Structure 1
Amino acid sequence: MKFKHLILSATLILNVINTIAQTHTFTLGDESFLLDGKPFQMISGEMHYPRVPRQAWRARMKLAKAMGLNTIGTYVFWNLHEPQKGKFDFTGNNDVAEFVKIAREEGLWVILRPSPYVCAEWEFGGYPYWLQNETGLEVRSKEPRYLKEYESYIKEIGKQLAPLQINHGGNILMVQIENEYGSYGSDKEYLAINQKFFKEAGFDGLLYTCDPAPDLVKGHLPGLLPAVNGLDNPTKVKKIINDNHDGKGPYYIAEWYPAWFDWWGTKHHTVPAQQYASHLDSVLAAGISINMYMFHGGTTRGFMNGANYNDQNPYEPQISSYDYDAPLDEAGNATPKFMKFREVIQKYLPVGVKLPAVPAAKPTISIPAIRLTQSLSVLNILPTAKTNPTPLTFEDLHQDYGFVLYQSVIEGGKTGVLKLQQLRDYAVVMVNGKTVGTLDRRLNQDSLALTLPAGKITLDILVENLGRINFGKYLLQNKKGITQKVLFAGEEVRQWKMYSLPFANLNGLKFGAVKHDSGSPVIKKGGFNLNKVGDTYLNLSHWGKGVVWVNGHNLGRYWNVGPQQTLYLPLEWLKKGHNDIVMLELLKPNQNKIDGLNKPVLDQLQP
């Protein structure tokens, strides 16, 4: 009987795969999308492959099906796939084609958004940092250097994903060109070049644009379907699309926001489930297709968070958690919002269709207190320096993310103000190897009063890139580090050594036993043993500011200002037996212990 059951299960899976693997048609009707000539209401949820461990993609998609989604939306991230000019990467968590194929196996369609600008609360809005080193290059424009790099990138994306479009037997229904362009510009010639590039890259199915309602006229390319973001009044959705699409539909909300994201030092954002369940009901009742942003946010790991900045608001770097108060939480578990949305969606399923059961929550564990028994001062791991009379930016150093240490020797025996002109973004200032203060761009801090001892003084300034701006007119003002000059007591400090510390990996670090720390940023290492694995959360509320790696995986940044006080550690990256943990701590070098929790803390601010 068991063998027979396995055969039936395998047959069922193959039938699901074959259903989507057949060549289908997907076209625009006057009111609805048409799948194989029949009206099709897209109920989609956004989920980004780099924000979820590859081993968990399939499980998240099963939950998408259980909530009633028939489609998954995802951006494609240029800076992941071409981290250095001409060097492309589609391996591991960057294997976007495999992400799309798994969706097909799970009976899900895909909406693809390779833009190439994505916003997404992502570093530089998805652009690779090295674009800023191309003299005269202007993103989101007809500037020739930009178009050359853009064309090269989108052709590589086309090689990976164009064969997976529905008109080639795949499951990609539509492909979005650009992304909310109307919020940035209004050049229709530029949009037409986007369309041309996409078609030449092999994206020969349905293309569309998306924009917030106030900017849709500027960002829409006539001839393509205009989708609207951030609007869920059915009458208004239909009117704005009719007005820009020859009086016709289909009607598509490309970003419907049932939640919102967080940034450091600001309260955690939540949106009541019941309030948005009623909005979802009215939209689906009107026959409008929808992509909820986000269905599942996940985590922005490593150094890939972006930041907001405009003339009214200060610099606002986003936190590592991208929980987003979404229907599926950061760890991939169904929330009350998920269940309420599922109830609504069930009302609009075809007759006879029942939703799969909701998978049980993943197991969680609380790791007992971990002692960090090895330590290394950041000042003792410096690579070969680059020298220059004035400070060099990250971009000058051909460094993408992480930290740069700026070092100079100055004459002491005086009191004065140290001023870093255009600091980007956070600095730990050290005198003779000891921390004397910090400067924070969020708070418009660029100056520190110092009294220096007599003699020659070593001035070290460790600068962190907290994330490049990802939205608005300042995309081209995104260089990092000390971007102008340094003054002390009114005089310019010159003759600098720059040490690149990208922390792309921790290979080669030689730790010693923990001892009384000198008062400067440190890297600490420890280990812990597990009898079983489960999702867990590292409690960082008693630490200062830094980054955590477990078993070589960068879990993201922590910062006790909040609102995020924990880092999510997925069970997929833990193992039975011994596990390694490494922490870079900027502010509290004498901390030596960290503990685990079985749930996140995302809503606690500290002064």
Structure 2
Amino acid sequence: MLKLTRTWCLLGALLAAGLSAPAQQKHTFEIQDGQFKYDGQPTPIYSGEMHYARVPRPYWRHRLQMMKAMGLNTVATYVFWNYHHPSPGVWDFSTGNRNLAEFVRTAQQEGMFVILRPGPYTCAEWEFGGYPWWLQQNKDLVIRANNKPFLDSCRVYLGKLAEQVRSLQVRQGGPIILTQVENEFGSYVLQRPDIPLAEHQQYNAAIRKQLADVGFEGPFFTSDASNLFNGGSTPGALPTANGEDDVARLRQSVNQFHDNKGPYMVAEYYPGWLDHWGEPFVRVTTEKVVKQVATYLQNGVNFNFYMVHGGTNFGFTAGANYDKNHDIQPDITSYDYDAPISEAGWATPKYKALRELMLKHVKYPVPAVPAPLPVLSLPPIAISKAVSLFDLKRDVKPVRNDTPLTFEALGQGHGYVLYSRKFRQAAKGNLQVKGLRDFATVYVNGRRVGELSRQKNTYTLAVDVPAGATLELLVENMGRINYGALIVQNTKGIIEPVLLNDAPVTGNWEMYRMPFEQVPNLSAYRAGKSPAGQPTLYSGTFKVEKPGDVFLDMRGWGKGLVFVNGQSLGRFWRIGPQQTLYLPGSWLRQGQNEVVILEQLNDAPQKSLKTIDKPIIDDVRL
């Protein structure tokens, strides 16, 4: 008992001082005698997952302080390849939230270890599981496979990543103690029995080797359900279990693939769960979470809360799932996850109960809980300008083709494409867009006649197109699938011929690219009345005396995007469960601010945008 107490005291001193020491002070972190050891001392990992890409950079330190005040000593984060490599030849590890090295250094300054999860595949409810969309343009490249073009691309990515964080590994004086190999590969092996197991294993081993070759020092680990280690584990990496609540089963699985000894770690323990548009918000009770974490603590199990703080899927970063009832299940903008630390960084009842539990078990110092960041409730923001989306067509050069082209063929990754075709002769009947990816509003001469939705498995619509009229489909990419076998089939837009009464509609298609990666400049367009049912861009200005967090109340709006001061807050959709959008105060300015809203449905012209002092993320309105 005296030895254990001395170890905890030493760990407390190391966490309080050693991790924030100058970078030249090197340390060790190793797996020895079935334990994690930091500088030779047994050191349990009590970790929380937080993704720097989902949290505004000015808030990183606050969120890390919240984690430490919950009793945790480690932060785990995915690195999203597509977040740092948005287009061929373009790499960004410095702007906005993309400065990974700064995030790691901030964690070190706050006395936290770091677990790095670089993929290349991440899942994480993130667009395309972290893969760059344009990989699909190489017809010889096979994603997530023992395929040379793909592995060559992975090697370039991992090399670029290593340049940023190689010096931040624990042996170099940094806080990075563990690096993950691939991610949940065992489930993919199960989903792809068409590929021989040996070939799967060759791919997994190749990623492990690439990580070492570019300078990652380990220790390495894999992360899978405990019954999938046969497909997901790889030599030279510690197998860890996801979602495992049975300690005996955890030990048995790890022992089988790790020399009959630990350490034993649940790399993803779920205190909440992910959420899709049009489905109820998922909650996990505080009592269940506290009971399970107590079991881990009492049995010497290392763990990582996935998520301890989820943050937000800003812009077009949200991914999607699918199941037998839905061709796609797009993830909502909020990544609150019912996590202990809410989307806005608040301490939830779950957080407080877990903090009380951790205080009973850890011997190192646990600081006080930081104060919550201020929240503003603003007067209704008046809409001062409305511009029809169709007015933007004049500044977009269309691509012409006999049949509709995919986003990828058009050189576009995200946002929208307006597919347009003029009919010389009248046409009437069932319009079929079986290749819709993912949502479309359909217009005849600018009048909305219906919607098509992959989420609702709705691909057919009755239309009546007069002679000389124009049929248009505004098609939205709602996020590429990030999990499962269909990740290799992730092109967007219209990917099959459009049919009318079962006959292909060919010739004279025009496609207008509208990626909305940046806020559109509406000053070049004349304001006017926006007809109901026509996609419209609204803008307004509002003043802030002292910036603070804001929740935009999107009840009463239909579907679309919101930008504030040029920052994309993400998607809204009236079906819920999310009815508000989180606006971080760090993105506001003292004085004048601007909001721009793309309203795709526009059932009625909008006059104002309201705010509220708390989120609404559990209100489904089908």
Q: Give the partner amino acid of 1:145.
A: P
Change (3 A) 1:134 1:505: same
The residue number in structure 1 matching 2:610 is 595
Name 1:476's counterpart in structure 2.
Answer: 488
Where do 1:143-542 residues align within 5 Å?
143-185=147-189, 186=197, 187-311=200-324, 313-350=326-363, 353-382=364-393, 383-453=396-466, 455-494=467-506, 495-509=508-522, 510-517=524-531, 519-542=533-556
Q: Which moved more, 1:475-484 or 1:527-536?
A: 527-536
Aligned mate of 1:80, from 74, 78, 83? 83
Q: Secondary structure at the match of 2:332?
A: coil
Q: Deviations over 1:163-219 (max 9, x none)?
A: 111011111001001000011124221111111110111002211111112212210
- Aligned residue number for residue 43 of structure 2: 40
Secondary structure of 1:50's aligned partner: helix
Where does residue 565 of structure 2 map in the other structure?
Answer: 551
Please give the TM-score of this superposition, normalised by the length of structure 2.
0.93
**137, 144, 149: which is aligned to 2:141?**
137
The secondary structure found in structure 1 opposite 2:308 is strand
Matched with 1:575 is: 589
Q: Contact 1:20 / 1:171 at 8 angstroms: preserved in 2?
A: no
Q: What root-mean-square deviation, in Å, do the aligned CA atoms of Structure 1 and Structure 2 show?
A: 1.6
Find 1:565's aligned residue among 579, 595, 600.
579
Task: Tell me the amino acid that sits aligned with residue 562 of structure 2.
Answer: V
Superposed displacement of residue 146, structure 1: 0.4
Partners of 1:22 and 1:15 in 2: CA distance: 8
Under a length normalisation based on structure 1, what TM-score does the superposition of the two structures give? 0.95
Question: Which amino acid in 2 is paired with 1:72?
Answer: V
1:514 is displaced (CA, Å) by 4.2
Give the aligned partner of residue 6 of structure 2.
Answer: none
Identity of aligned residues (%): 44
* Larger displacement relative to structure 2 (308-317 or 63-72): 308-317
SS at match of 1:513: coil
Q: Is contact 2:226-2:240 (8 Å) kept?
A: no
Q: Distance in 2 between matches of 1:155 and 1:24?
A: 23
The whole-number CA distance in structure 1 between the counterparts of 2:113 and 2:58 is: 20
Alpha-carbon distance in structure 2 between the residues aligned to 1:336 and 1:416: 55
CA distance in 1 between partners of 2:225 and 2:26 (Å) = 33
Q: Tell me if structure 2 keeps the 8 A contact 1:428–1:435.
A: yes
Q: 1:77 to 1:16 in 2, by over 3 A?
A: closer
Tell me the equivalent position of 1:60.
63
1:22-53 Cα offsets, whole Å, 9 max, x none, are: 21111112332011111101000000011000
Q: How many angstroms apart in 1 are the aligned matches of 2:174 and 2:245?
A: 30
Deviation at 1:533, TM superposition (A): 2.0
Q: Which amino acid aligns with 1:558?
A: F
Contact 1:310-1:472 within 8 A present in 2 as well: no
CA distance in 1 between partners of 2:56 and 2:45 (Å): 26
Q: Is the 8 A contact 2:70 2:358 kept in 1?
A: yes
- The residue matched to 2:539 in structure 1 has which SS? strand
Stretches of structure 2 lacking an aligned partner (at least 5 in a row): 1-14, 190-196
Output the CA distance in 2 between the equivalents of 1:14 and 1:392.
Answer: 57
Aligned counterparts of 1:150 and 1:320: Cα–Cα separation in 2: 28
Q: After TM superposition, give the deviation of residue 421 of structure 1 in Å.
A: 2.5
The residue aligned with 1:6 is none
Q: Does structure 2 retain, via aligned residues, the 8 Å contact 1:434–1:519?
A: yes
Task: Give secondary structure in 2 for the equivalent of 1:525.
Answer: strand
Q: Using a 3 Å threshold, how does the CA distance of structure 1 residues 496 and 414 change in structure 2: closer, same or farther?
A: closer
Q: CA deviation at 1:435?
A: 1.0
Contact 2:326 2:457 in 1 (8 A): no
Shift of 1:488: 1.9
Q: Structure 2 CA distance, aligned partners of 1:30 and 1:344?
A: 28
What is aligned with 2:194? none
Q: Is the 8 A contact 2:158 2:211 kept in 1?
A: yes
Q: Is the contact between residue 310 and residue 474 of structure 1 (CA under 8 Å) also seen in structure 2?
A: no
The residue that corresponds to 1:7 in the other structure is none
Partner of 1:26: 29
Distance 1:15 1:173 in 2: 13
Letter in 2 for 1:49: Y
Aligned residues: 593
Is the contact between residue 21 and residue 171 of structure 1 (CA under 8 Å) also seen in structure 2?
Answer: no
Q: Tell whether the 8 Å contact from 1:391 to 1:496 is kept in structure 2 after alignment.
A: yes
What is the rounded CA distance, in whole Å, between the counterparts of 2:54 and 2:478 in structure 1? Answer: 18
Q: Secondary structure at the match of 2:355?
A: helix
Answer yes or no: is the 8 Å Cα contact 1:20–1:107 preserved in 2. Answer: no
State the SS of the aligned residue for 1:362: coil
Q: Which residue of 1 aligns with 2:8?
A: none
Distance 1:473 1:310, change over 3 A: farther
**Consecutive unaligned residues in structure 1, runs of 5 or more:** 1-11
Amino acid at match of 2:365: K
Structure 2 SS opposite 1:99: helix
The residue aligned with 1:8 is none
- Residue by residue over 1:469-528, the C-alpha shift from the partner in whole angstroms, topping out at 9 and shown as x without a partner, is 000000111000010111223332222111110011125432433424263101111011
Q: 1:324 to 1:20 in 2, by over 3 A?
A: farther
* C-alpha spacing 1:314/1:390, structure 2 compared with 1 (3 Å): closer
Q: CA deviation at 1:532?
A: 2.4
Q: Distance in 2 between matches of 1:135 and 1:526?
A: 45
Instruction: Find the aligned partners of 1:603 and 1:502 in 2 and give their Cα distance.
Output: 29
Q: Residue 19 of structure 1: CA displacement?
A: 7.6
Q: 3-state DSSP class of the match of 1:343?
A: helix
Q: 530-539 or 394-403, which moves further after superposition?
A: 530-539
State the alpha-carbon separation in 2 of the partners of residues 159 and 543 from structure 1: 45
Structure-2 change in CA distance of 1:513 and 1:317 (3 Å): same
Mapped to 1, the partners of 2:528 and 2:542 lie a distance apart of: 17
Amino acid at match of 2:589: K
CA deviations over 1:196-255 (Å, ceiling 9, x no partner) = 110111002211111112212210013321011010222221111111111010111110
Helix, strand or coil for the counterpart of 1:215?
helix
Counterpart of 2:104 in structure 1 is 100
Within 2, Cα distance between the matches of 1:269 and 1:236? 26
SS in 1 for 2:307: strand
